[in-house]
Chain A
Amino acid sequence: MTTTDTCGEFLAAVAKLRDDGTVRLTAHTSSVSADAWTAPDPDAQVTPATPTDSAS
């Protein structure tokens, strides 16, 4: 069996199994009350989260 066959046959089998034709991503963003913290948080990452495609 060739490499192409192994991968191709697996992909064909997966396609038959999948019943979720549309893949959905449900995302949400929320802000936290800044005044809930009284001191800076040194461990937090500085990169802001990116609002994305979303459902809620």
Chain B
Amino acid sequence: MSDIAAALHLDTILAHRRERTTAALTLLHPGHTPTPSNDEALPLAYALAHHRLEGAETAARGRDTTVLDWYRNTAERAFSRLIHPSRLGPRIVIAPQQDEMIHGLHSETPYYVLSADTTLASEPLTTLVDDAFAHITDAGLDGLVHEHAAVICLTGRRRPDQILRSFAITRLPATVFTDHTGDAAILGRDLVHEAAHNWLNDALATLQVTIPEDDTYFSPWRGTERPAFGFLHACFAFPLTLIYAARALPAASGPGHTVLADHARRQHTHLARAQDDFARALKLVTNDSLRERLETVFHRARSLPSETIA
């Protein structure tokens, strides 16, 4: 196991997500003991339990007992028909239209919850995701994406001159939302980035670590001062994308190669600028094991020789 794979392997996350999945399913089906998922199926089971919980909660808030009942009694079977077997385990890949995204209570950013109306992404998009998984596997980050990107919501294809947006939300762990350009190597980068956010959210939850919001830190990615939570997330997710880019570059070609090389150069510069504030912010992480893991990832990316990312 590489140093990065070891840093990302946190047994307590697995125990935490097993426990949370069982709790969600028990709440949805009182009196029914859910069948425990095996290690390969657990990430998707964890993601789907949270989609069902979120959908059921929204239905209950709207006093819609029909939809509430669907999420409790029918969703499991309905969602199982959406599952796509992949090299990283069972996944659900969707690509909803912009008007299907919902404006929830929790975020200004529209997001998506699996429902009775959900359909699969087209075959070319599913193939694109499979190809992205191949790049991720080659880069040695398949464990991260296997565990933290079980539902992949493609939020739109963008032209090269447009901005790519991606996000993750704590209410839907193991789900990632991302735009794409049609290039698998670039999509691989963004899946790694969002899976990293989900990893850190799970780690903070399972280790019961709270990041104080009092101080701010200069984020070279934003060019502004940011609270510690967002800054530390950036200092974890971007280094992993740099590691991904450096490892994926030799096999990438065409636009993907150009974009990843440009990304790697920029991240190298940003990490150098973030280093002092990262050291300061890291002191807020009270759990020794988590602090060491964040430090390992940051410094591993920081230490990549510039010739490997050129």
Contacts and interface: CB of A to CB of B under 8 A. Distances in A.
Contact of B197 (A3, A29, A46, A55): A55
A36 B160 contact: yes
B167 A52 contact: yes
B76 interface: no
B78 to A, nearest CB: 19
B18 interface: no
B33 interface: no
Contacts of A50: 109, 165
B167 A54 contact: yes
Interface string B244-263: 00000000001110110011
Contacts of A13: 27
B148 to A, nearest CB: 12
Contacts of B262: 33, 36
B164 interface: yes
A23 B230 contact: no
Contact of A47 (B98, B106, B107, B193): B98
A11 to B, nearest CB: 5
A47 B107 CA distance: 20
A4 B63 contact: yes
Contacts of B303: none
Interface in B155-210: 155-171, 179, 181-182, 186, 190, 193-194, 197, 201, 205
B97 to A, nearest CB: 10
Contacts of B179: 49
B217 interface: no
- Most A CB atoms within 10 A — which of B159, B230, B237? B159
B229 to A, nearest CB: 7
B165 A49 contact: yes
Interface of A: 3-4, 6-8, 10-11, 13-14, 17, 19-20, 22-37, 40-41, 43-56
B203 to A, nearest CB: 13
A45 B61 contact: no
A55 B49 CA distance: 25
Contact of A33 (B59, B163, B258): B258
B68 interface: yes
A7 B63 contact: yes
Contact of B170 (A10, A24, A30, A35): A24
A25 to B, nearest CB: 5
Given A19-B205, A24-B201, A44 B159 contact: yes
A32 B171 contact: no
A32 B263 CA distance: 9
Contact of A17 (B27, B219, B221, B229): B27
B295 interface: no
A26 B169 CA distance: 6
12 contacts: A17-B23, A20-B170, A25-B169, A26-B168, A26-B230, A36-B254, A36-B258, A37-B255, A41-B181, A41-B182, A52-B108, A56-B230
